[in-house]
Amino acid sequence: MTNYTGTILDYVRDIKNESIASIQFRQQWIMKTELTPPKYEGDGQLDKWMPTRRWHNSSGIGSPGHTAKCIVDTSKVFIMFVHYVTQFFPATNVSEYVQMRVDPEEGLVRHYRDLSLGDWGRIWLNTTLQFGALRNTDYPSEFLGKLTENVKRRAKYVYDNYYY
């Protein structure tokens, strides 16, 4: 979330319009120029390699609907394509279900892309440059500490409970 003061969950819960079945966010691509380590080796590695800390070279924000990302109400969405809903269930308490587009001033997806994987950089980078020149952006500093703490806690939970 950008200028919205709560969490994504708060944002979704604040939507009271029953006809909204999908919330669509535009995205900004963050260019990853190195592959992340193949194996988790502890908190120090996360401090160095966590994408929000390591990569900042960012595209402009994609145009509405262009490779957007959605949060959907699965009780209202029947078929979902990668970037948008293709079919809603028949509406029950409203005339029809709809998709709501979120303004980037409220929220957007920071999509970290490995330029070398699948030749993404060669195939797609020029398309993303149509949305504006590359520039350095940062994850909001007031949230970075909490995000880092949460990632470390989750990684510790996953890897300390996994038996090789």
The dihedrals phi and psi of 148, each to the nearest 5 degrees, come to -60, -45
Rounded CA-CA distance 66/59 in Å is 13
Amino acid at 161: N
Q: Which of 77, 75, 71 is nearest to 7 (CA)?
A: 71
Per-residue model confidence as pLDDT tens digits over 81-111: 999 999 999 999 999 999 999 999 999 999 9
Rounded CA-CA distance 62/28 in Å is 6
Rounded CA-CA distance 114/119 in Å is 9
pLDDT 10s digit of each residue in the chain, 164 long?
Answer: 888 888 899 999 999 999 999 999 999 999 999 999 998 899 999 999 999 999 999 999 999 989 999 999 999 999 999 999 999 999 999 999 999 999 999 999 999 999 999 999 999 999 999 999 999 999 888 889 999 999 999 999 998 876 54
Tell me what pLDDT residue 131 has: 96
H/E element holding 91? Answer: none
H/E element holding 29? Answer: strand 27-32
